[in-house]
C-alpha cells in the first residue's frame, strides 16, 4: 500500500493533477511532490515546476513557504487548513481555477510541437491528449509500466 505521508517516486507516481483537496486540483500532487522532495525520493518529479508555479501564483503562497509547512509533518487536511489561512481565494475562484488547470494546455505552436514530441515517445497512437493534465496522467502511467 502507498503511504502518502512518505511518498517514494521510485516506486509510484504522485497523485493526478485531477485529484482535488478542498476543491483545489493539483494540491494533492503538489503535496506529494513536496513530501517526496523532502525525503530525497522525488526521482524525476520536480517540486516547484511550472505547473506548481500556477498554484503558487493563484494562491499567493511561495514555494519556499509551502515546503516549510510540509516539512512540519502536516497531514493533507492540516495542509488544506494552512492553505486556507494563507490565501484569500473564494470557493468560486478555486473551482474556476481548478477547472482551468485541469484543461490547461501548451497554447502556442512551440508548445504543441513539444507535446507532440513527448506523445510520439510515450503514446504515439494517442489522439486524446490535449492538456498537461492528460499528458501527466499518461506519463505517470507509462513511467510505471503501463503502455501508452
pLDDT confidence of 17, banded at 50, 70, 90? very high
- Span 132-147, mean pLDDT? 94
- Span 92-121, mean pLDDT? 94
Other residues' Cβ atoms within 10 Å of the Cβ of residue 13: 20
pLDDT at 55 over 90: yes
**Which one-letter DSSP state was computed for residue 131?**
S
Query: Concatenated DSSP letters for 66-96?
Result: HHHHHHTT--HHHHHHHHHHH----HHHHHH
pLDDT at 132 over 80: yes
Assess contact for 23 and 91: CB atoms under 8 A. Answer: yes
- Span 62-80, mean pLDDT? 97
Amino acid at each position: 500500500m502507498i503511504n502518502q505521508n512518505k511518498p517514494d517516486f521510485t516506486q509510484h507516481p504522485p497523485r493526478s493533477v485531477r485529484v482535488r483537496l478542498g476543491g483545489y486540483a493539483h494540491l494533492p500532487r503538489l503535496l506529494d511532490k513536496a513530501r517526496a522532495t523532502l525525503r530525497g525520493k522525488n526521482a524525476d518529479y520536480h517540486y516547484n515546476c511550472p505547473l506548481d508555479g500556477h498554484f503558487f501564483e493563484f494562491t499567493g503562497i511561495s514555494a519556499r513557504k509551502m515546503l516549510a509547512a510540509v516539512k512540519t509533518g502536516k497531514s493533507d487536511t492540516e495542509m488544506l487548513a494552512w492553505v486556507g489561512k494563507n490565501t484569500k481565494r473564494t470557493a468560486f475562484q478555486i473551482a474556476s481555477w481548478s477547472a482551468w488547470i485541469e484543461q490547461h494546455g501548451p497554447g502556442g505552436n512551440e508548445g504543441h510541437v513539444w507535446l507532440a514530441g513527448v506523445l510520439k515517445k510515450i503514446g504515439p497512437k494517442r489522439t486524446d491528449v490535449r492538456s498537461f493534465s492528460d499528458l501527466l496522467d499518461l506519463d505517470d502511467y507509462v513511467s510505471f509500466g503501463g503502455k501508452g
